[in-house]
Structure 1
Amino acid sequence: MDAYLIAIAIISGIYLLLALGLNLQFGLTGLINFGHVGFFCVGAYTSAILSTNGVPVALSLLAAALVGMLAAWPLGVISIRLREDYFAIASLGFSEIVRLVATSEGWLTNGVQGIAGIPRIFSSVTGQSQAIAMLASVTVCCVLAILAMRRIVRSPFGRMIEAIRDNEEAVKSLGKDPAGFKMQVLLLGSMLAGLSGALYAHYIGYISPDQFIPFITFQIWMAIIMGGVGRISGTVAGVIILMLFLEGSRFLRDLAPFIPEVAMASIRLGAIGLALMLFTIYRPQGLMGDYTKR
């Protein structure tokens, strides 16, 4: 049981890094990114390729964060000035292009076979101690990301991106360039996604293109919506709620053993979708949102 709880905590921390990046982009800036999993994929493959070719894991993690950030630059250059809905479509297309590249460029990514034997972060430690060390590493990354987010929110930069979210036309009338600030936010959020992808790769030990589908992005969207858009505490709460639904729904099988496994998978997704609809109807501001507003 302890191993199971540690595994859930590690995955929750990885999802939290993803959600913090998306909350920075959408919650604070209003940038609708439906392709967040693309940067998650870039980070995972960057760290996996480097580490399996002898690069130290610490450097591979750093490279994954940087490459994830750099991968966002061409998307931003092409699409950042588009209207929100058009940017959302462009970002979704970007994530699918990344997945297709990972599938087709076998010389680099090993194609559909994926990359196996990815080194653990603490390869000298074995057993449950390794899992605890991994959890500690993910926790440190999450704490540093939260502290950085708090610093951003309280800074002039944070107030500017919130103003862009609330009224972009008013910001333009003051002579500011919203596109430049959006680009910076896109890069920072993608850097967190790249780092989370690298941590995921080193924890799982194997990655393939099928692990980086758009559903991952929409799970993260569900987390920030249920927790409270634009709030760091809401991001943390939303990830916890999401994991409770994802893992708790696994035990539905015990309550209804007569339902086939295939059907139960659909029921799990339906339960999660129902929870999101109920939050949207009764708590549209999220669990940690402003209780004076609906």
Structure 2
Amino acid sequence: MLSYVIFTLTLCAIYGLLALSLNLIWGGAGLVNLGLAGFFAVGAYASALATGAGAPVLIGWGAALVVGAGVGLLVTFATLRLRDDYLAIVTLGFAEVIRLVALNERWLTKGSDGISGIRAPLKAELGTQNFALFYLGVVTLVLLVVWALLRRLDFSPYGRALKAIREDQQLAAFAGKPVLRFKLQAFALSAAIAALAGALYAHFQSYISPDHFQPLITIYIFLAVTAGGVGRPSGAVLGAYAVVIFLEATRFMTEWVPGLQPVQLAAMREMLIGLALILVLHLKPQGILPETIPKALAPPSAA
């Protein structure tokens, strides 16, 4: 039971990073990125290939950050003139392209067989149980660091400029804000965080395959950010923990319903998640922790 709890909390932290990534680009700049699973996969494969070639694990995580940011810039350049639904469709297509490349380019990714034996840091020295606790501490620490940085960014002039672009990019451009540069930076940073989450996931599981990066991951993260509160890093993290814990709890809830096939039980889990989101949005339309926008300072009175 303890191993299961540790596994769930580790997955919560990894999904928390994905939620922070989405919250930055969607809640901050107002760009709908449905390709989150693609960046997640890019980071996982980048780190797995780097460490498989003999690089230390930290170098693998750094490679995931760099490759994720670079791919994020490429996607942004390819979608410069797209907004809203069109951007969402293109990014969703990007995620599927990444999954198909991982599935078919066997010389690089080993195809559907996946990459196994991915190095888990200090697992041999610590043992399985102690490694699980150690890795939970590592991913939680990474989550806290990223959360603190994004929360600080949220209240900075940069974060306020991003939200001005989210509300009305034409007005922000008229006010002198370099909209394109802000979009490029935000998308690259968001993609890098998602790729880092993928790298942490790969070294935790020690095995990845294209099946691990289905579009359903992106849907779960959108549920997490929506339920937690769009535009607020704390809400994104809280939503990620709530979604993962609820997902795992439904494994036991469906056992109470007799006479259903495994496929039907899986469908019931998805239905319960949807119902839970509807309930949360009915009771808290802005999310559990809604975004708080500080009031503008009053202008100094004339002498």
With the shorter chain as reference, the TM-score category is over 0.9
- For residue 154 of structure 2, what is the aligned residue in structure 1? 153
Counterpart of 2:221, as a letter, is: I
Mean CA deviation greater in 118-127 or 91-100: 118-127
Is 1:29 equivalent to 2:25 in the alignment?
A: no
- Tell me, yes or no, if structure 1 residue 142 matches structure 2 residue 130: no
Question: Where does residue 215 of structure 1 map in the other structure?
Answer: 216
> What does the per-residue CA deviation read over 1:111-162, in whole Å, with 9 as the maximum and x for residues that have no partner?
1111011110223221211001101110111011011101211211111001
- The C-alpha deviation readout for 1:78-114, integer Å capped at 9, x for no partner, is 1033122211111111111111111111101001111
Are the counterparts in 2 of residues 168 and 178 from structure 1 also a CA contact under 8 Å? yes
User: Is contact 1:80-1:183 (8 Å) kept?
Assistant: no
Match of 1:9?
A: 9
Aligned-residue offset at 1:207? 0.5
1:97 aligns with 2:100: no
- From the CA coordinates, give the structure whose radius of gyration is larger: 2
1:290 Cα deviation after fit: 5.9
Aligned residue identity for 1:215: L
2:228 matched to which residue of 1? 227
CA distance in 1: counterparts of 2:241 and 2:128, whole angstroms:
26
Aligned partner of 1:170 in structure 2 is 171
Structure 2 partner of 1:80 = 80
Tell me the distance in 1 between the aligned counterparts of 2:149 and 2:291. 23
Tell me the equivalent position of 2:66: 66
- Per the alignment, in what secondary structure is the counterpart of residue 257 of structure 1? coil
**Alignment partners' CA distance in 2, 1:196 and 1:281:** 31
* 1:257 Cα offset (Å): 3.1
- 1 CA distance for matches of 2:253 and 2:281? 24
Instruction: Name the residue aligned to 1:44.
Output: 44
Q: Distance in 1 between matches of 2:22 and 2:80?
A: 15
Consecutive unaligned residues in structure 1, runs of 5 or more: none
May I ask how many residue pairs the two structures share in their alignment?
291
Distance in 1 between the 2:255 and 2:106 partners? Answer: 41
Work out the percentage of aligned pairs sharing the same amino acid.
42
Runs of 4+ off more than 3 Å = none
CA–CA distance in structure 1, aligned partners of residues 153 and 87 of structure 2? 23
1:18-53 Cα distance to aligned partner (Å, 9 max, x none): 100100000111110000111100000011111122
Asked if structure 1 preserves the Cα contact closer than 8 Å seen for 2:231 and 2:291, the reply is no
Task: Say if 2:31 and 2:83, in contact at 8 Å, map to a contact too.
Answer: no
Distance 1:83 1:39 in 2: 19
Q: Is the 8 A contact 1:122 1:134 kept in 2?
A: no
Give, in whole Å, the separation in 1 of the partners of 2:32 and 2:254: 36
C-alpha separation in 2, matches of 1:260 and 1:93: 32
Q: Aligned partner of 2:239: which letter?
A: G
- Distance verdict in 2 for CA 1:22–1:49, change over 3 Å: same
**Aligned partner of residue 171 in structure 2, secondary structure:** helix
The alpha-carbon deviation at position 65 of structure 1 amounts to 1.2
Q: 1:275 maps to what in 2?
A: 276
Distance apart, 1:182 and its partner CA: 1.1
Distance 2:155 2:253 in 1: 43
2-side partners of 1:210 and 1:190: how far apart? Answer: 20
Q: Which amino acid aligns with 1:20?
A: L
Structure 1 pair 209/116, CA: closer, same or farther in 2 (3 Å)?
A: same
For the aligned residue pairs, the C-alpha RMSD in angstroms reads: 1.3
Conserved 8 A contact 1:65-1:195: yes
Distance 2:80 2:11 in 1: 30
CA distance in 2, matches of 1:175, 1:127: 55
Question: Where does structure 2 lack aligned partners over 5 or more consecutive residues?
Answer: 293-303
Secondary structure, aligned partner of 2:267: helix
Amino acid of the structure 2 residue aligned with 1:134: Y
Encode CA deviations 1:181-205: one digit per residue, 9 max, x unaligned: 0111000010100100000000111
